Chains A and B, each alone.
Chain A
């Protein structure tokens, strides 16, 4: 009896609060807007994540650093040193945030978290790479940044993508000035006319076909430098 009256009191308290208007249900619109907001935030973060991957890809393409992957174990090691890990970590943070958001929906939490993280990382990376390789989006923004037509922070970001070749790691980038029988002359491409400008004689790897190279080509060289001579173990002609 005591228990029953406790039950009644318990329920009456809640019902009384509802009847008096003290307790109100949130309108359906609130939940619709909440869902829309979550979906929009999820899509926004997904787009930022894809953009970030494409920007990393663009930076590696612009600087020519991606060429290092074709230069053997030594080149791959230098590639790992030069890779913009902070951007990649930032992207992984976004992927984790995405996974957390996606797990609010049944299609998200019904799958193992690791699969979800792998799927988001792989799809995000593939989309980012495709976006960079198949569109001129970043190239156009970079040109706008160079012309000073881009919004402040974005301009600095795009300018920061065009890093000077890390010569301390034995990596050089420049234009072909002159071609000899088994060597060519390379110069800087930073065009700042300062004391670090110079010309080097590059001895390409033995398997390199000299017919491939033309005066004015922009090339990426990895090798050992002694005075003004670079003995290259990797060489690639860049697009721009």
Chain B
């Protein structure tokens, strides 16, 4: 019963103190989220279980580095991001990492979008359907914002980019999605 109401951070603190079984609780909570994040980010479903399992293994190994005064979800998503990005690079024909110009300059202040819950849900559905047509860089930020419902600041911590860059990437991702819908003659507003 106690486990039902424990926060992720409380569970992580217990795991840090050696309560291994609580790690199972964290896995129960995060497995569906990470499976969804991984399958959208990598645009694949094969082997995703093994990759997510790898994320949990790394999470357990590194859990002593987690600061329990911070939120647990950006921390585990950061581990997942690194694992998925490595997987993308491993499978890529061109594994050389290109410089990311988004993080180079300052962008105008990103104001967190104030979409209503229903608008956000509708956008999430649109995102879900069009994800495979856009690049992983934009796909990921859409998934983290619309599906995993992380804030700009949390996404910035997961991706290790300035908060304004998150806003810029989201705007570009939406444009890319819109263009992809237009190309396929599907109404974006549907």
- Does B63 lie within 8 Å of A112, measured CB to CB? no
CB-CB contacts below 8 Å: B153-178 with A? 156-157, 160-165
Of the candidate stretches A62-70, A103-111, A133-141, the one touching chain B is A103-111
Residue of B nearest to A28 (CB): B64
Choose one: A13, A25, A26, A109; the contact of B160 (CB below 8 Å): A109
Residue of B nearest to A24 (CB): B61
How far, in whole Å, are A27 and B61 apart by their CA atoms in the complex?
9
Given A106-B157, A109-B162, A113-B104, A26 contacting B57 (CB threshold 8 A): no
- Does A112 lie within 8 Å of B103, measured CB to CB? yes
- The A-B contact count (CB < 8 A) is 76
Residue of B nearest to A115 (CB): B106
- Does B53 lie within 8 Å of A10, measured CB to CB? yes
- Does B31 lie within 8 Å of A10, measured CB to CB? yes
Of the candidate stretches B19-27, B89-97, B122-130, B135-143, the one touching chain A is B19-27
- Does B57 lie within 8 Å of A23, measured CB to CB? yes
Contact with A along B5-33 (1 / 0, CB 8 A): 00000000001100011011001100100
Q: List, in ascending order, chain A residues with CB within 8 A of B104's CB.
A: 112-114
Q: List, in ascending order, chain A residues with CB within 8 A of B49's CB.
A: 6, 10
Contact with B along A80-118 (1 / 0, CB 8 A): 000000000000000000000001001001111111000
Residue among A14, A111, A114 facing the most chain B CB atoms (10 A cut-off): A14
Q: List, in ascending order, chain A residues with CB within 8 A of B3's CB.
A: none
Q: List, in ascending order, chain B residues with CB within 8 A of A113's CB.
A: 103-104
- Does A14 lie within 8 Å of B60, measured CB to CB? yes
Q: B62 near A: Cβ within 8 Å?
A: yes
Residue of A nearest to B26 (CB): A11
Choose one: A25, A103, A110, A111; the contact of B63 (CB below 8 Å): A25
Q: B111 near A: Cβ within 8 Å?
A: no
Size of the chain B interface, CB-CB below 8 angstroms: 33
Given A7-B31, A15-B23, A19-B20, A114 contacting B105 (CB threshold 8 A): yes
- Does A15 lie within 8 Å of B61, measured CB to CB? no
A16 to chain B, nearest CB (A): 11
A24 to chain B, nearest CB (A): 7
Choose one: B64, B103, B164, B165; the contact of A31 (CB below 8 Å): B64
Given A23-B60, A26-B62, A14 contacting B106 (CB threshold 8 A): no
Q: List, in ascending order, chain B residues with CB within 8 A of A114's CB.
A: 104-106
Q: A18 near B: Cβ within 8 Å?
A: yes
Contact with A along B37-73 (1 / 0, CB 8 A): 0000000000001001100110011111100000000
- Does B61 lie within 8 Å of A112, measured CB to CB? no
Q: A30 near B: Cβ within 8 Å?
A: yes
Choose one: A6, A11, A30, A111; the contact of B162 (CB below 8 Å): A111
How far, in whole Å, are A14 and B24 apart by their CA atoms in the complex?
9
B53 to chain A, nearest CB (A): 6
- Does A23 lie within 8 Å of B61, measured CB to CB? yes
Q: List, in ascending order, chain B residues with CB within 8 A of A30's CB.
A: 64
How far, in whole Å, are A18 and B52 apart by their CA atoms in the complex?
16
Q: List, in ascending order, chain A residues with CB within 8 A of B61's CB.
A: 23-26
Given A11-B24, A110-B163, A18 contacting B60 (CB threshold 8 A): yes
Known A15-B20, A26-B61, A103-B160; 8 more pairs at CB < 8 Å: A11-B31, A25-B16, A25-B63, A26-B64, A30-B64, A106-B157, A112-B164, A112-B165
Chain B residues with a Cβ under 8 A of chain A: 15-16, 20-21, 23-24, 27-28, 31, 49, 52-53, 56-57, 60-65, 103-107, 156-157, 160-165
Q: Could you jot down 12 A-B contacts, CB within 8 Å?
A: A10-B53, A11-B24, A11-B28, A14-B27, A18-B23, A25-B61, A25-B64, A26-B64, A26-B65, A31-B62, A109-B162, A112-B104
Chain A residues with a Cβ under 8 A of chain B: 6-7, 10-11, 13-15, 17-19, 23-28, 30-31, 103, 106, 109-115
